[in-house]
Structures are given as C-alpha cells and as structure tokens.
Amino acid sequence: MKLGCCYYPEHWPRERWTEDARHMGEMGLSCVRICEFAWSQIEPELGRYDWEWLDTAVATLADAGLQIIMGTPTATPPKWLVDAMPGMLAVDAEGRPRRFGSRRHYCFSHPGYRAECARIVTAMAERYGENPAVIAWQTDNEYGCHDTVLSYSDAAAARFREWLAGKYHGIDALNAAWGNVFWSMEYASFDAIDPPNLTVTEPNPSHVLDYRRFASDEVVSFNALQVDILRAYAPGRDIVHNFMGFFTDFDHHALSRDLDVAAWDSYPLGFLEQAWFGDEEKRAYMRQGHPDFAAFHHDLYRGCANGRWWVMEQQPGPVNWARYNPAPLPGMVRLWTLEAMAHGAELVSYFRWRQAPFAQEQMHAGLLRPDGSEDTGAEEARAAAADIAALGEIGAPPRAVALVISYEPAWLFQTQPQGCNWRYIELVFEMYGALRRLGLDIDIVSPEYDLAGYKMVVIPSLPVVSKGFAARLAALSCPVLIGPRSGSKTADFAISDTLPPGPLQSILPLRVTRVESLRDGAVEKGRGFAVTRWLEHVESCLDAEIALENGRPVLLANDRYRYLAAWPDRDLLGDIFRGMADEAGLATYDPPHGVRMRTIGTLRFAFNYADRPRRVSEFVDDVDELAFRIGGDRLDPGGVAVWEV
C-alpha cells in the first residue's frame, strides 16, 4: 500500500513547490493528487489555456519521484463559463437555480456543459495523458456532494422525457406502470411529463423512482464521457473517482463498471457528527470516529471495481464542515491508515498536504499547518509509513460473509418511507456492525455479484427482487438472512402480486399480510431482545425461530434461509449472526467494546477505538504464543496490533 496526499500547487508560491515535493517524499508519501479544482487557472478565459504553471508543477513533483494522480476540474466550472451558459446551473427542488460561488454548481444533464467538460478533459488528457509521472486520473470530484445529483432544470426535464420514451416506448405502458389512473394523472405523451417537483402533495412514487433512476444514469453517463476521453489519451493509466461516505444518491456499482479503481474520501470524525448516531455514541467516539465507519466503506468500495480501491482523501486532523470538529485522538491517523491496509487498500492519500489560510476550508487541518510547519497528522503519517514498510506484502482479503446491498432500495425507501425512522443505509450499517463485532470479515457486494464461495450471505433489505436473483439465492448452500421489506415491491413500484416477499416465496413460503411502523422509543419485546421501528405481520406454514413475547414471529426459517420480519436491535442481530456463523463453520469472537478485528492474508489486525486501553488477551486465547508483527497484548486508545494467524 502506498501513501499520498492531495496538493494544490496553485494555492502556494512557486518557490514552495520544490520544498513541498521533497518534504512529501521524506515523509514517506509517494503519490500526489492535484488539479481537481484548477479550471480557472488552466483556462482563465474561454479557449486561452495557461499550461506553463501546471507543466512546471508536474515536472517539479515528478523530479522528486512522486507519482501524480491528475483530477479533471469539472466540479468547479469557472465564472466565465457560467456567465456564458447560465442554463448549465442545477435547479433545486424548489425551482431555484443554484449560484456560482462555491463548487458543484452544474447540472449533469446540460448538453452544453457536457460539451465543455469534454473539451477541458480532452485538452488536459492530450497534454498529460502519456506523461510518465501521471499514473492515474480522477474524474471530477465527489459526484453528488452538496446534494447535487438531482436537478430540476429544463435540460434535465428534456433528457428525462427521452429517458422515459426509451424505457417505456409507448405512453400507455408508462401510464399502466405508474398506475396513473389514480388521481387522474394520465399523460397523453412523453412530452407532457415534468420532473416530480413542486407538486401540491406527494408525487406518484413510480414517477419519483424513475426520476431517481434517470438522475443516477445521468451521473453514470457524465462520468463515462470523461472516461472515454481519458482511455483514448491516457492509455494504461488507472481511472478513478472519489466517492463519499453514507452516500446513496446514485448507483455506485453502475458507475464503477467504467472505472479501474473505486476510491473514497474518509472523514471518520466529520461523519460521526453528521450521521444519525445518538448523542452517547457521538460523545464516546468523537475523537476516534465510529469503529465501523471506515471499515464499512472500505468493504463497500472494495466491492465496486473488482476489488481495487483507494482512500483518496484521509482526514488528517480536525475538519471544518461538521457541526463540531474535534481533533483525532493521538494515534487515530495512523490507525485509520493501517485499517485501510487491513481491508486491502492500494493507496491512502491524506487531505490535504497543507492547511489553506484562505477561503472556505481555512479551518480544515492538513498534514502541514498554514505556516508550513508539521501538524500532528504528519507525524502519524510517518509512523504509518514505517509500519507499512515493516509489514510488506500482506496477501488477499478473505471470502467469508457477503452483505448484499444496492442503491435503488435507498431511493425507493426515501420515496415511500412508511415510517420516518426507516433508513436503508442505517439498517445496512447496523447489520454490518453486528457481523463485525463478532470478528467476521465482510464483503459488501451488489445483487449481481457472484455469491458462490461465501460462507454466509446477508441481505439487509431488497424491496425489488427479480426472479433471477431469487433463483440464484436458491442455488446457494450457505446460511442466508433476508431482511424486512424484501420482495415488497415490483420494479414499477407496486405491491408484489402475491404479497411480499414476492419472488422470494420460492425459497421462503410466507406472506406479509400487514406492516406497521413504530415511532422512536416504541419497542416490542422478545426474550432478550426488542424490535423497534418496523414490524411485519406474517402468515406462514413455517415455524418461528424467534418470536415476540406475544407470540408474533420475528424470524422465520426454511432450511438455510431465514426471513427477518422486523427492525432488529443489536442483541437480536448478534444472536442471529452468531447462530448463522456457527452453522457456516466460521469462528466468532467477542472483542471488548470499541475493539474491532480484521483478517487479511495471514495477518490479523486489532484496532482499539475505545478511549481506554484494552488487551488482545481479552478476546484471543494464548496471547503469549502470538507472533506479533506490530504492537502486542496491550492496545492503547488508538492502538493497533497485528499478528500472524
């Protein structure tokens, strides 16, 4: 695994560049990402390119032996372009165009903007595509960040109509699929259809879901436009995009098919603060991040581009954008770095090299302070570089548990939550955490992924199930858990003909006859567990493996298939997964609060996210006989131990 950083030569005087490049190498960094926001510097006005500074920057970095990841600058169209083409601005759900003055102010559907992107990407790729120092290209930056996937512009409306015509061919088919007979919503032609915003009350959910599918396809085709150009001019270079945390607004599996590497931007403290976690958890982990947050995304993005993945931006200190921005506990920057290694990363790149004293992110730490002196992140990056060198090649990730997720369920449940505390990604994350607390190794994969060879399969919730997918599940021989609301909808967003779980009835003979959502704080008790938020009434010839105190079934089993008819608490999930792991012959552990484990190749890693010391001997036998490669029995807060298995 290599280390790198994100660097903005255009922010610093030229006299600094040589020293910065030398300093990066001395710190143990070998890669540097540049340029992803530099459009106004590369092209100060239409058609006038200024390559001189970038040529010099690239040469300076290359001379210091650094490998360059070049970003395309399409997340930051310059003012002259917006002024010349105001229709390129995205329009929000209230119908307001977004303005110039920050970033991501473009609509994915605008043909003129797409043409401009093709032009700037071609110009850059012609110039640097075959430069030996430029080893990879990053397309744009964090597609969808700042809520930018959905746009309700005229350009988007026009392309949506074309997309619908391509999908349904005739308007009658669309009216039937959407159920437009309801509330007199029938259309006479595709041209009559608008995006589903500004309606008086909720729009037709089928209309919304198609709009979300369309918007996702727009992101994928926008990216593909850049990829095609880069493939032509930058042969053999990796093409990568930097995805985000807990972000489901477009189909990352579909987009990743066009990439060589899926990268993501890891900000464990910022995300803990901004996500749904309760106050207690936020306080307990405020300087460490949630112990499953980074691992979850490592395992998710490893499943996106055939196993190749990077951390493109790693938090090095306090960020500026969360409600509160504490500093990482000493050791966490090193821990996060080594944890990425334990999950198979090829690169961890810190964001950013040096804190900018100006503009929006002046309060965001870098490896260096604004005056150029080293901040504490730099020390830890050095320590991580030494550990990585000491560990050497570490082998391949194991194939143990498959957690099957998809992006469409998030759109479907956001469109029709049926209970405001139902959050798909939270359910996925809860299941992931329950598996991981048992020390299990997890691959997060799409329903299209080949599940053969896994010892256990978990599907948190998959509302739309194809007959083909049900048949593939029927062919598996390992324990399989299928979560609530699975098979509950058709692809057109109607209730399944045979009632839920629809096509899954071929492996699970049961019918969900009624569902109810429960307000926060309401619980239904079972023995040693409780369910919250969501409860299904089930009719079945199957016996309940687990039931509520009132006798209502919660878990029904048919041979190796189990159906979970409620939103589970952690105790229930722990019991279910331990039972499945036993059945699958997978060893489980019981590490103390805040400690997590991960196995890769012949190495086992333990990470202490707790704010107090722990011992490996608390959850592993015969510690005296372990061959430690890093650390030992004592795990300090933020500590890491690695041993041979």
142 part of the active site: yes
267 binds ligand GAL (CB under 6 A): yes
Q: Which is nearer to ligand GAL, 265 or 524 (CB)?
A: 265
Tell me how far, at minimum, the Cβ of 133 lies from ligand GAL, in Å.
22
Task: Tokens for 136, please give them.
Answer: 């990879």
Binding ligand GAL (rule: CB under 6 A), the pick from 1, 27, 90, 145 is 145
Quick one: CA dihedral 165, 171, 172, 177, positive or negative? positive
Tell me how far, at minimum, the Cβ of 407 lies from ligand GAL, in Å.
19
As beta bridge partners, residue 615 has 634
Helix (H, G, I), strand (E, B) or coil at 32: strand
CB of 44 closer than 8 Å to CB of 389: no
Distance CA 373, CA 644 (A): 38
Would you list the DSSP string of 280-330? HHHHHTTTT--TTHHHHHHHHHHTTTTT-EEEEEE--S--SSSSS-PPPPT
Segment interacting with ligand GAL (CB under 6 A) among 141-149, 286-294, 514-522, 571-579: 141-149
Q: Which is nearer to ligand GAL, 143 or 178 (CB)?
A: 143
Q: Which is nearer to ligand GAL, 347 or 481 (CB)?
A: 347
Q: Which is nearer to ligand GAL, 265 or 273 (CB)?
A: 265
Tell me how far, at minimum, the Cβ of 379 lies from ligand GAL, in Å.
20
| Angle 455-460-465 from CA coordinates, rounded to 5° | 95
142 binds ligand GAL (CB under 6 A): yes
- Choice among 43, 116, 142, 339 that is catalytic: 142
User: How remote is the C-alpha of 266 from its chain's centroid?
Assistant: 10
Give the number of residues in contact with ligand GAL, rule: CB under 6 A.
Answer: 11
List Cα–Cα distances, 389 to 338, 380, 394, 557, 605, in angstroms. 11, 14, 11, 48, 16
Task: Tokens for 45, please give them.
Answer: 């006005």
Distance CA 35, CA 249 (A): 25
Q: Which is nearer to ligand GAL, 138 or 486 (CB)?
A: 138
Q: Which is nearer to ligand GAL, 134 or 145 (CB)?
A: 145
Quick one: CA dihedral 297, 426, 286, 6, positive or negative? positive
141 binds ligand GAL (CB under 6 A): yes
By the 10 Å C-beta count (0-12 exposed, 13-18 middle, 19+ buried), 24 is classed as: buried
Segment interacting with ligand GAL (CB under 6 A) among 125-133, 137-145, 251-259, 626-634: 137-145
Distance CA 60, CA 7 (A): 13
Segment interacting with ligand GAL (CB under 6 A) among 139-147, 336-344, 492-500, 516-524: 139-147
Positions in 316-335 near ligand GAL (CB under 6 A) = 319, 321
Distance CA 513, CA 511 (A): 6
Segment interacting with ligand GAL (CB under 6 A) among 90-98, 190-198, 313-321, 489-497: 313-321
Task: Tokens for 620, please give them.
Answer: 């592993």
Tell me how far, at minimum, the Cβ of 352 lies from ligand GAL, in Å.
8
Distance CA 41, CA 55 (A): 12
Distance CA 468, CA 463 (A): 14
Q: Which is nearer to ligand GAL, 327 or 530 (CB)?
A: 327
Binding ligand GAL (rule: CB under 6 A), the pick from 313, 339, 380, 569 is 313
Q: Which is nearer to ligand GAL, 248 or 488 (CB)?
A: 248
Q: Which is nearer to ligand GAL, 316 or 397 (CB)?
A: 316
Distance CA 424, CA 449 (A): 20
**How many CA atoms are closer than 13 Å to the CA of 125, on its beta-carbon side?**
25
Q: Which is nearer to ligand GAL, 48 or 323 (CB)?
A: 323
Which positions ≥6 away from 390 have C-beta within 8 Å? 629, 630
Binding ligand GAL (rule: CB under 6 A), the pick from 364, 455, 489, 614 is 364
Segment interacting with ligand GAL (CB under 6 A) among 140-148, 201-209, 385-393, 568-576: 140-148
Q: What is the 3-state secondary structure of 410-474?
A: HHHHHHCCCCCCCCHHHHHHHHHHHHHHCCCCEEEECCCCCCCCCCEEEECCCCECCHHHHHHHH
- Choice among 116, 313, 380, 536 that is catalytic: 313
Tell me how far, at minimum, the Cβ of 103 lies from ligand GAL, in Å.
8
User: How remote is the C-alpha of 186 from its chain's centroid?
Assistant: 37
Positions in 544-603 near ligand GAL (CB under 6 A) = none
Segment interacting with ligand GAL (CB under 6 A) among 138-146, 280-288, 415-423, 567-575: 138-146
Q: Which residues of 470-495 are buried (b: 16+ CB within 10 A; e: fewer)?
A: beebeebebbbbbbbbbbbbbeebee
265 binds ligand GAL (CB under 6 A): yes
Q: Give the position of tokens 């490896």.
A: 367
Chain positions contacting ligand GAL, by CB under 6 A:
141-142, 145, 265, 267, 313, 319, 321, 351, 361, 364
Catalytically active residues, by annotation: 142, 313
